[in-house]
Structure 1
Amino acid sequence: MENNKKGIFSKFLNLIEKAGNKLPDPFVLFAVLAVLVIIASYIFSLFNASVIHPGTGEELPVKSLASGEGVKYILTSMLDNFTGFAPLGLVLAMMLGIGLAEKVGLLDYAIKKTILKSPPALITYTVVFVGIMGNIASDAAMVLIPPLAAMVFYKVGRHPLAGLAVGYAAAGAGFTANLLIAGTDALLAGISTEAAAIIDESVVVTPVDNWYFNIVSVFVLTVVGGLVTNKIIEPRLGKYKGDAVEVELEEEHPKAGKAFRNSIIAGAIYLAIIAIAIFLPNSPLRNENGGIVPSPFLDGIVPIILFFFITIGVAYGMTVGKIKSSKDVGKYMGESMKDMSGYIVLIFAIAQFIAYFSWSNIGTWVAVNGAELLKDINFTGIWLIIGYIIFTASLNFLITSGSAKWALEAPVFVPMFMQLGYHPAFTQVAYRVADSSTNIVTPLMPYMVIVLSFMQKYDKKAGIGTLISLMIPYSICFLITWVILLLIFFFTGIPFGPGIDPYL
């Protein structure tokens, strides 16, 4: 890796990369972490550690994985932990469709004819914007956007790891922002409403209560993400000298233009069918009240995206002659799965670690006691909110599931902040800012393994340290920017959503 800037910050990132790359192989690392959880759970159990879950009021003892019950759980749950690990199915399903489109040459052609003709100065900002908006498809954006961004950067002569980094940063750290109302808005709002009922049952948090803040966040973070990439990440990476990917573009197929047009037509027809299905009277894709958020449509967004890529991939492949029978479809999908073999192996270990952490109740113990500590400090005013943001951002290193963490935190912080006069929707904004910003720097994030696999296609020596060192500038800048934006909304009285002010 070439470094053009030898400033203190650059040296700091290099130090992190060097230290991180000395960690064991990711599979071994998570296996070791699983063993450490087993040991920690035994020590906690010796002191009869327990915690009261703030939501249910149930006393949860820290259970020892080294006990008879724990050993039984380890042995009987191992396969379920692996096959039931949510990101596994999501990733493999997405890559079936995306892999097909890539193998037949559709993605390569689309890049050459669209992105390559775009002004170079706009490519970075486009990737950030699309990455942030990608959360409408939930976690699928973290699978789709980083590798595509790396391909784009590589094709235009820029460092592919910079593209991968900005794609992952936008999709991961910018996860909570969007111009549209997404499933995340409805999920968090429901939890917030339940937590608010502890103090006042008449207070309702709706999916649009953070909408204005989210809209502004999209545009602000797009600029910040682009600047971080152009001013910090790419100068640090220097010129790409890898040989893992062929530099020369493949010769264009004579029917590529027609195939691309056919894929667009097929995709448009597919989307039209989905749109018609959604807006039909009594559509099964809408909820019982006829709404879209939440709905079976959003719940099924991953298979809908999968079939979209299959549709356009088949249309392109048939036109250029790469798909001549149904067997060819299966063949190309199989080839795409070969590229994911390393990820499948790694996910086995990470699934066990996360399952052990959850079953033992260590995560809950740490989260609740940390929350109580902040409560006992008795901060007031905006410093309380900033302190809470820092706490949640740090907690992300232990619990990466945004909805689960909010379900754990909301019953503590929402009622506490309501007693201080803060609106639950405002507390929810603070949570979302903190939760999203550090998604990309915690090794517990399942999608980090996927991004690392793609990274090693361009740099075989890249490790977890390489990825984390690239993500830290985005994480810090996004968090600082979001806090400043929150303060601007707070002190100027700009509503966070329709009729939503910081105070009740």
Structure 2
Amino acid sequence: MTEEVQKIKASLPERILASVERTGNKLPDPAVLFILLLLVIWVLSWLLSTVTFNVVDPRTRELLVINNLLSGAALTEFMSVMVTNFSHFHPVGVVLVAMLGIGVAEHTGFINSGLRALLGITPKWLLTPMVIVAGIVSHSAVDAGYVLVIPLGGVIFYAAGRHPLAGIAAAFAGVSGGFSANFVPSSLDPLLQGLSQAAAQIIDPTVVLNPLNNYFFTTASSLLIIGLGWYVTEKIVEPRLQNTILDGNLSDLPTMQALAPNERKGLRAAGIVFLFGVIIMVVTAWSVDSPWRGATGDLTTGDAPMMRSIVSLIFLMFILPGAVYGIAAGTVKSAKDLIDGMTHAMQQMAYYLVIMFFIAQFVYAFGKSNLGVLLALQGAAWLKALAMPSYITIVGVVLITAFINLFVGSASAKWGLLASIFVPMLMQLGISPDLAQAAYRIGDSSTNIITPLLPYFPLVVVYCQRYVRNTGIGTVTAMMLPYSVTFLVIWTIFLLLYLFSGLPLGIQSSYTYP
């Protein structure tokens, strides 16, 4: 084989990623893109509203009907809920409240000094897995990873002299690409288990699933995702970014100079406040009748005040130590300095808010039209009609879910639709609800990081623009595509190997039914 041919072969992945980036960046601005998608949804809903689909909606047990969003009633309803679509859109409040606290911590220098102290004791070669692990663990705190871990990934890499976009990519891969890989139980576990159990009881009313029915598999998967993410970051993504010039506002980002005496004093004071806050949380949550616990006495269920207060706790976790740091280090002279930090953080979020307004309207229209339901149910019906061997069927569940995930982002909403089809279908083939759920979780995670329809995707674009101003949808998609493909392929193979090994998927779980 000639050297020229070897060079061409070696450059093929790079040429593919470059093509994805160029094509993606030719797309309209994200806000405009969602306006166009909203128009497409309106037109499709009008065209398909006259078509009769032989598909039963599992929510109503009736034939699925596509709602015409261009009817007079639908348009007037859309106008009446436009404001609440935006103001009640979950990612908006999550991001803004967390950023208020983070803004203070950043403005006073707390984050800057804290990261420099952390980098001083962390080997440079361990930064990548450390960021990915932080992203994976953040799943226990609902959406905290999107507003906390991902931007910090960029800052940590920049402070260590590495490309900040690689840090953002590694963090995004851990937070979203490895969404269902976690060794710490989260509210997602009982949520998916409840939907799987309800679907299984369509066939067998006696079926009862354990909320941790995938726990052993997700724990093993977390090790897999850390390893894969580490490799992809350092061997594919970061080398490709070396020629990407940083032209953003980098003046307030940390560098690796030694901590000054006043900074050390501020960190000690902030650390004491943070430790005191943790002690208060542990003491108040310890008793079985703690007000932080849910109706079942659990701290991690979806209805537990502890889980519902995660964003508020992030706000306090940054604003209180950040303020104390500023006072002790002398970077805060008055309360106005704290307000200035919040104001600066909100100024950085202006573009994000514009995008979120149009995403909120798109999400409302997509759900109202029932087009997402149709897509999910038709895909599941197609898989059932193929009647493939069980292990091939499991791969099909992963791939169908991964494809649908490009259009329907919510894990609970998607599984709520697909479980009622996949779980009974697979049970009739001798495949357990536990295994069906595990396959779903792989597909649901792997393509999160390459779809602009993920509500937090534009936020990642904004994070990147802090360092590289012309970052667009194509830049982030091309950056994350190696993770997505690697996770999807290797994680699916890992599930099959796990299946053939006979290792338990989780607590009180099985591979077969009955």
Bin of the TM-score, shorter chain as denominator length: over 0.9
Q: Which residue of 2 aligns with 1:405?
A: 414
Identify which range, 250-259 or 397-406, moves more after superposition: 250-259
Matches within 5 A, 1:140-289: 140-239=144-243, 241-244=245-248, 245-246=250-251, 249=255, 252-289=259-296
Q: Is the 8 A contact 1:91 1:143 kept in 2?
A: yes
Identify which range, 226-235 or 272-281, moves more after superposition: 272-281
1:432 aligns with 2:441: yes
1:105 is displaced (CA, Å) by: 0.6
d(CA) in 2 for partners of 1:207 and 1:293? Answer: 11
Identify which range, 279-288 or 393-402, moves more after superposition: 279-288
Q: Is the 8 A contact 1:186 1:293 kept in 2?
A: no
- Aligned partner (choices 348, 351, 360) of residue 339 of structure 1: 348
1:390 aligns with 2:403: no
Identify which range, 232-241 or 15-24, moves more after superposition: 232-241
Q: Which residue of 2 aligns with 1:98?
A: 102
1:490 aligns with 2:499: yes
TM-score between the two structures when normalised by the length of structure 2: 0.94
Q: Cα deviation per residue 1:448-485 (whole Å; 9 max; x = unaligned)?
A: 11010011111111110000001110011111221122
Q: Which residue of 2 aligns with 1:37?
A: 41
Q: Which ranges of structure 2 fall in alignment gaps of 5 or more residues?
A: 1-7
Identify which range, 457-466 or 52-61, moves more after superposition: 52-61
Q: Which residue of 2 aligns with 1:358?
A: 367
Q: Which residue of 2 aligns with 1:374?
A: 383
Per the alignment, in what secondary structure is the counterpart of residue 261 of structure 2? Answer: coil
**Structure 1 vs Structure 2 CA RMSD:** 1.9
1:17 is displaced (CA, Å) by: 0.3
1:81 is displaced (CA, Å) by: 1.0
Per the alignment, in what secondary structure is the counterpart of residue 205 of structure 1? Answer: coil
d(CA) in 2 for partners of 1:164 and 1:5? Answer: 28
d(CA) in 2 for partners of 1:290 and 1:122? Answer: 38
d(CA) in 2 for partners of 1:262 and 1:315? Answer: 7
Number of equivalences = 502
Q: Is the 8 A contact 2:155 2:254 kept in 1?
A: no
Per the alignment, in what secondary structure is the counterpart of residue 211 of structure 2? Answer: coil
1:254 is displaced (CA, Å) by: 3.5
Per the alignment, in what secondary structure is the counterpart of residue 62 of structure 1? Answer: coil
Per the alignment, in what secondary structure is the counterpart of residue 178 of structure 1? Answer: coil
Per the alignment, in what secondary structure is the counterpart of residue 28 of structure 1? Answer: helix
d(CA) in 2 for partners of 1:221 and 1:90? Answer: 26
Identify which range, 399-408 or 362-371, moves more after superposition: 362-371
Of all paired residues, the percent bearing the same amino acid is 39
1:66 aligns with 2:73: no
CA distance 1:466–1:240, shift in 2 (3 Å):
closer
- Aligned partner (choices 313, 316, 320) of residue 307 of structure 1: 316
d(CA) in 2 for partners of 1:145 and 1:478? Answer: 20
Partner amino acid, structure 1, of 2:328: T
Q: Which residue of 1 aligns with 2:452?
A: 443
Per the alignment, in what secondary structure is the counterpart of residue 148 of structure 2? Answer: helix
Matches within 5 A, 1:127-138: 127-138=131-142
Q: Which residue of 1 aligns with 2:339?
A: 330
- Aligned partner (choices 477, 480, 486) of residue 471 of structure 1: 480
- Aligned partner (choices 464, 472, 488) of residue 455 of structure 1: 464
Q: Cα deviation per residue 1:65-107 (whole Å; 9 max; x = unaligned)?
A: 1111221122111111111111000011111111211111111
1:239 is displaced (CA, Å) by: 4.7
Q: Which residue of 2 aligns with 1:11?
A: 15
Per the alignment, in what secondary structure is the counterpart of residue 433 of structure 1? Answer: helix
Q: Is the 8 A contact 2:112 2:254 kept in 1?
A: no
d(CA) in 2 for partners of 1:26 and 1:50? Answer: 35
1:160 is displaced (CA, Å) by: 0.9
Q: Is the 8 A contact 1:158 1:239 kept in 2?
A: no
1:499 is displaced (CA, Å) by: 3.5
Per the alignment, in what secondary structure is the counterpart of residue 7 of structure 1? Answer: helix
1:117 is displaced (CA, Å) by: 4.0
1:422 aligns with 2:431: yes
Partner amino acid, structure 2, of 1:337: M
Q: Which residue of 1 aligns with 2:4?
A: none
Q: Cα deviation per residue 1:251-297 (whole Å; 9 max; x = unaligned)?
A: 85531101111111111111111111111341111123322231221
d(CA) in 1 for partners of 2:159 and 2:254? Answer: 9
Identify which range, 406-415 or 245-254, moves more after superposition: 245-254
Q: Is the 8 A contact 1:253 1:320 kept in 2?
A: no
d(CA) in 1 for partners of 2:243 and 2:107? Answer: 27
d(CA) in 2 for partners of 1:486 and 1:175? Answer: 16
Partner amino acid, structure 1, of 2:181: A
d(CA) in 2 for partners of 1:178 and 1:343? Answer: 29
CA distance 1:384–1:281, shift in 2 (3 Å):
closer
d(CA) in 1 for partners of 2:268 and 2:254? Answer: 24
CA distance 1:381–1:6, shift in 2 (3 Å):
closer
Q: Which residue of 2 aligns with 1:349?
A: 358
d(CA) in 2 for partners of 1:232 and 1:146? Answer: 19
TM-score between the two structures when normalised by the length of structure 1: 0.96
